[in-house]
Structure 1
Amino acid sequence: MVSQIRAAATLLGLLTVLLGLLYPLAMTAVAGAVFPGEASGSLVSRDGVAVGSSLIGQSFAQPGYLHPRPSAAGTGYDGSASSGTNLAPTSAKLAERLTADGEAMRQATGAAVLPADAITTSGSGLDPDISPAFAAIQVARIAAARGVAPDTVERIITESITRRTLGILGEPRVNVLAVNMALDALAPAPMPQGETPTASAATPAG
């Protein structure tokens, strides 16, 4: 009996060290060496300072920036409270919000037809990408706010489109943070009087 307990305890200890300590450390080291960017959170830096992640969305509210899709995560793009609304398609509350947001979006963009991601939230609430169609209806607003030609904004967005993986997987998408950083590099957006850059405007949040 004692010998069996000793053998079991020894095996438990060895497996705990091997699988619970050494293996995770080894995989972490390999990931850091082979995929350093991904292993560190796919961080995006500007002037040596991390301003966000290419995998996690954040809020941009100023008119000179590409806006992300709506978010239901916490108070909006709250990384500690990732979530969707969990409202069913038959929900009256969801229908009311979509109707109101759709009307506001049409007035802001002049678009007669809106892409779905212009007014719907993602399951995570932290989606970093939007559809090229949603980006396209924002061109006029961004160009006017920055005082640049619409063609210039269109070019930046087009160059930032990520195509389907292997030509068949996923959908074409535009990374909001990448476009906004490219826009700032071209022509910094003017700030409203009395306002300073914030995480949702000129300086993306980390």
Structure 2
Amino acid sequence: MERLPGWIRQHLAALRALLALTLLTGAIYPLLVTGIAQAVFNGHANGSIVQKDGKDTGSALVGQLFTDTEGNPVKKYFQSRPSAAGAGYDPTSTGASNLGPEDIVDTLPVPGAKNDKGEPDTGRQSLLTQVCSRSKAVGELEGVSGARPYCTPDGVGAVLKVFPAVGTPTRAVSVNQACPAAPFVASYQGVKVECGKPGEDYAAGRTVPIRGTGRAVVPADAVTAGGSGLDPHISVAYADLQAARVAKERGLTRDQVMTLIKRNTTGRALGFMGEPAVNVLELNLALDRLTP
């Protein structure tokens, strides 16, 4: 029997290797790993699905909003932290806003103007103004002060543009407060502060954030979005801040609500990494079981 040509033998060897590796990596290994995961980590391997009344209501690993159809917080539920993933906690749009600490100047909407899509101009809020407006809203919801450093009382970034950029100021503008709003400070180094005029270019001015006084009561995670936009947890401090409101809405004592918070708080990873956190979905489901 004649030997096959060398090039044919090489192709047959390659084909056998392809079939063997396909069977090993495409079937045996995935089935083995899946079997181990199902046997050892069944709940986690299937997405950590949380059920209510026998129906899937979410995942313990993915946050969700507890708002009404108009986006307002439902007061009987604990609220999650903000999310930059799509319209909020959208797994198909997971990600952060990518705005940094130097993003402090808004683009004010111009009345009557339209964007490239023909929609009314809405401007653009800086990261600082997003934080300030969220802090103000949380403060109003929880009945506490929503004030924080570098924020105006009306919930935008406390930022001035000073002209000229170098030298003695001759003009100062509160760029994040559109006219006819009253500027958060009356004067800066002896110069009267103006309100911001939509559409006017203030790029040539020197940017001066004003810290103000006082200490923030609203925790940082209540006003900043997580890196993935899917974080299911909030800090213990933010949960504590919401406890009085939830207790009142559900006719419970604050102690009852605090007990549920403690039951749904996870400790630091490996005992020393990160901070204790509260799973909002599981906490709200525990509340529903207590007061249907």
Band the TM-score falls in, shorter-chain normalisation: 0.7 to 0.9
Which position in structure 1 is the counterpart of 2:10? 4
Match of 2:38 among 32, 35, 39: 32
Which position in structure 2 is the counterpart of 1:64? 76
Match of 2:85 among 73, 80, 91: 73
Match of 1:86 among 73, 98, 119: 98
Which position in structure 2 is the counterpart of 1:123? 227
RCO greater where, 1 or 2, for CA within 8 Å and sep 6 or more?
1
Which position in structure 1 is the counterpart of 2:22? 16
Q: Within 1, Cα distance between the matches of 2:140 and 2:257?
A: 20
State the shift of 1:7 in Å.
0.7
Match status 1:150 vs 2:254: yes
Superposed CA RMSD: 1.3
State the shift of 1:106 in Å.
1.8
Q: Which amino acid aligns with 2:278?
A: V
Moved over 6 A (4+): none
State the shift of 1:165 in Å.
2.7
State the shift of 1:59 in Å.
0.7
Which position in structure 2 is the counterpart of 1:185? 289
Larger radius of gyration: 2
State the shift of 1:47 in Å.
2.2
Match status 1:49 vs 2:49: no
Q: Which moved more, 1:65-74 or 1:16-25?
A: 16-25
Q: Within 2, Cα distance between the matches of 1:55 and 1:13?
A: 38
TM-score by length of 1: 0.86
Q: Within 2, Cα distance between the matches of 1:181 and 1:12?
A: 50
Percentage identity across paired residues of the two chains: 46
Match of 2:268 among 117, 142, 164: 164
Secondary structure at the counterpart of residue 26 of structure 2: helix
Q: Which moved more, 1:168-177 or 1:107-116?
A: 107-116
More helix per residue = 1
Q: Which amino acid aligns with 2:103?
A: S
Which position in structure 2 is the counterpart of 1:133? 237
Which position in structure 1 is the counterpart of 2:119? none
TM-score by length of 2: 0.62
State the shift of 1:169 in Å.
2.1
Q: Which amino acid aligns with 1:180?
A: N
Q: Within 2, Cα distance between the matches of 1:185 and 1:148?
A: 13
Secondary structure at the counterpart of residue 133 of structure 1: helix
Q: Which amino acid aligns with 2:22?
A: T
Consecutive unaligned residues of structure 1, counting only runs of 5 or more, are 189-206
Q: Within 2, Cα distance between the matches of 1:20 and 1:170?
A: 37
